[in-house]
Amino acid sequence: MRFSTSRRPSPRSRRFARTLASFFGSEYTTRGKAGLDDEEEVWMVVVEEHGNPAGLARRSHGEEKVLHFSVSVVEVSKRPKKMNRPRVVVMGKAAHEVAEFFGLDISPESPAGRAIRVGDHQIDFVDGEDLVLRLKI
């Protein structure tokens, strides 16, 4: 999975994409004028509205799915404490959709390390007990 932004992203969208890439242990690619050529790879592209991150477009195998949100908290941490693959913790109705969107496993309880807690109206990206990112859906 690779993270990128639109061709002329705002600084806030770049920071958001880098934070997500770091959380997932993935690569962030500055796109510029380059296209998303690799059809085999999963690309997560930050979609912005009026200079603010407003969604993620998941592009793979010629298909695109979009997750719309508003960002409410961004804590830029130094590095993730644990490098385990995050799991989605079931706390709301949208957990299965979010897990499918990111291609992650679902856990009924919060695992040690990184987790994505999905509630009815928000998605929290946590590293241990530290909140890294909160999205309102």
pLDDT in the model for residue 66: 92
pLDDT of the chain along its 137 residues, tens only? 889 888 888 999 999 999 999 899 898 988 766 666 666 688 899 999 988 899 999 988 888 899 998 887 666 555 555 567 888 987 777 888 899 999 998 887 777 788 899 888 889 998 888 888 899 88
Q: Tell me which H or E stretch contains 107.
A: strand 106-107
CA distance 26 to 90: 23
pLDDT in the model for residue 75: 62
Superfamily of domain 1-68 in CATH is: Brix domain (3.40.50.10480)
pLDDT in the model for residue 29: 87
Burial (Cβ within 10 Å: 0-12, 13-18, ≥19) of residue 110? middle
User: In which residue ranges of the chain is CATH 3.40.50.10480 found?
Assistant: 1-68
* pTM: predicted TM-score of the whole model, two decimal places: 0.84
